[in-house]
Amino acid sequence: MTAHLDVLVVGAGPTGLALAAQLRTYGTTFRIVDRSLDRAHESRALAIQPRTLEVLAPFGVTDELVGRGNPAMQLRMHLPHRVVQIPLFDIGLADTAYPFLLFLSQAETESVLSEHLRGEDVDVERGTELVRLERTGSSVACRLRRGDGSEEAVEATYVVGCDGAHSTVRAQAGIGFEGYAYPQTFLLADLEVDGLEPGAVHTYMTGAGMLFFFPLGSPATWRLLAMRPPGATDTEVDLSLLQEITTRYAGSRLALRDPVWMTDFRLHNRGAAHYRSGPFFLAGDAAHIHSPAGAQGMNTGIQDALNLGWKLALVCQGHSPEELLETYEAERAPVGRSVLRFTDRAFTVATSGNPAIRLARTRLAPRLVPLAVRARGPRGRVFRTVSELGIHYRRSPASTSGSRPPGRGPRAGDRLPDLPRGFQARTAGPGWHLLLAGPPRLWSDGRLAPVLAGRAEVLTVHRLGEQSPWPGVTHGLVRPDGYLGYVSRGADVNGLSGYLDRWLRRV
């Protein structure tokens, strides 16, 4: 006898753990399996972006993450003859409760998510590998293998590959993973550094490349990241090699000691040709891998998961049509592509040996960086992008403006800003949230009843009073992932009604 699941989540890295947390809030029948016996204890991804802190807040884990982490408010750029201080995330982030880049090791992030799942009675089945998938009519036959060699057959309606760069789900679904490997090798270490001012990100720029120190906090105070010098390809990564590189970039004032983790790695830039193929979905590193420039990788994976989980849940429970699942690729593939482009550009500027780019790094940067620091507009736009608060789904089929689209304020497909503060928390419960503003007569129970009938289980109504938070906007629908699906002016409920008829069935 095989047990039938709505969803099989393959992989319990940050992406799979976040997906499991969301499926749990909807009561979806799912299992989460991972072939490793234990979660990874190396630090790996080292920063959490503001948008990720926001999307994880509904699970009650964000305060714990912030409590364990280390917000960095400043980048200190060490140029040949001076140090330029660049405030981080000081502009362009007024509408979030988390206007900082939080340094926290991936091991800690996974530990917080795992503890949350344990508290919710979700069993992460470790030592359990997905070995085969086969489509059988309307479901998928999945074969799982345990460490002792025993196998189990499981049937699932949907399978989500959160199984990393070498994804089995991606391979079994026949989805391509195109891209390239960068020629350089990188060196990474978590260690202590004497002579480095605490609480800031430090970067040393030379013609040869860049050396970074990030304020990780735990398991060591600093994360070092540098390119392996040409000619030192096969040398073992040890403290003397790292000290030699550090001295070459920063002079003799920095002393490295007490390494907790040292490794080298190659980087790739690859994206899945599709994020969905029938009942198979890809999220996180299974769908995109790239350089760590801008600390986007783990964050993008967690946000993939939280774009998908509620859609799977509502479709499985019959609240939404299958068509809703098509919006996953429509919304997340463009985000993935833009992260691949953006990290590739940043990576090229930081590492290229091309004479023009070397010149830009050594000669132009010292002149341009101070000017760029003063250019508040462009700087705010960069922070908005890096923080992932600027992600929107305006071109999604699930983003619609009413017949009287608002001229100002957020548009359909935008993230619900946390202004006034606490607004996001009010609409954080599972399901959709209908925001109504304006004179009470506009939204009498009699007018609303036909629109809301049969949807109470997954649609909560919030009456905001006379004053709309956004001039002109009288009503809007907040999706379960905190993006606005529908916004409109006026009191015409036909647009709202049409939107709900398409995406939220009456049960």
Ligand X SMILES: Cc1cc2nc3c(=O)[nH]c(=O)nc-3n(C[C@H](O)[C@H](O)[C@H](O)COP(=O)(O)OP(=O)(O)OC[C@H]3O[C@@H](n4cnc5c(N)ncnc54)[C@H](O)[C@@H]3O)c2cc1C
Rounded distance between C-alpha atoms, residue 340 and residue 268, angstroms: 10
Site for ligand X contains 12 (CB under 6 A): yes
Q: Which is nearer to ligand X, 226 or 436 (CB)?
A: 226
- Is 163 one of the binding residues for ligand X (CB under 6 A)? yes
Stretch that binds ligand X, among 38-46, 202-210, 271-279, 367-375 (CB under 6 A): 38-46
Between CA 209 and CA 354 the distance in angstroms is: 11
Amino acid at 219: P
Pick the piece of the chain touching ligand X (CB under 6 A) from 71-79, 288-296, 439-447, 499-507.
Answer: 288-296
Q: Which stretch, 7-15, 410-418, 469-477, 479-487, contacts ligand X (CB under 6 A)?
A: 7-15
Smallest gap, in angstroms, from Cβ of residue 448 to ligand X?
A: 41
Alpha-carbon span 60 to 319, nearest angstrom = 25
- According to the binding rule CB under 6 A, does residue 336 interact with ligand X? no
Candidate list 292, 402, 438, 495; residue touching ligand X; CB under 6 A: 292
Task: Kindly identify the residues of this chain, within the stretch 223-282, that bind ligand X according to CB under 6 A.
Answer: 263, 265
| Span from 27-35, 61-69, 116-124, 333-341 in contact with ligand X (CB under 6 A) | 27-35
Q: How many residues bind ligand X (CB under 6 A)?
A: 32
CA dist 315 and 482 (Å) reads 18
**CB burial string 216-250: b at 16+ within 10 A, e below:** bbbebbbbbbbbbbeeeeeeebeeebbeebbeebb
* Minimal distance, residue 301 CB to ligand X, in Å: 4
**Token output for 96:** 């979030």
Window 67 to 106, contacts with ligand X (CB under 6 A): 106
Select from 28-36, 80-88, 92-100, 175-183 the region that touches ligand X (CB under 6 A): 28-36
**Which DSSP string corresponds to 46-58?**
-EE-HHHHHHHGG
Residue of 157, 22, 158, 49 lying closest to 480 (CA atoms): 22
54, 108, 285, 344: which one binds ligand X (CB under 6 A):
285
Q: Token match 């002079």: residue?
A: 251
Nearer CB in complex with ligand X: 103/443: 103
* Structure tokens, 442: 């506009």
The residues pairing with 188 across neighbouring beta strands, listed in sequence order, are 225, 263
Is the distance from CB of 413 to CB of 405 less than 8 angstroms?
Answer: no
User: Residues interacting with ligand X, by CB under 6 A?
Assistant: 10-16, 33-36, 44-46, 106, 129-130, 162-164, 168, 188, 263, 265, 284-285, 292, 295-298, 301
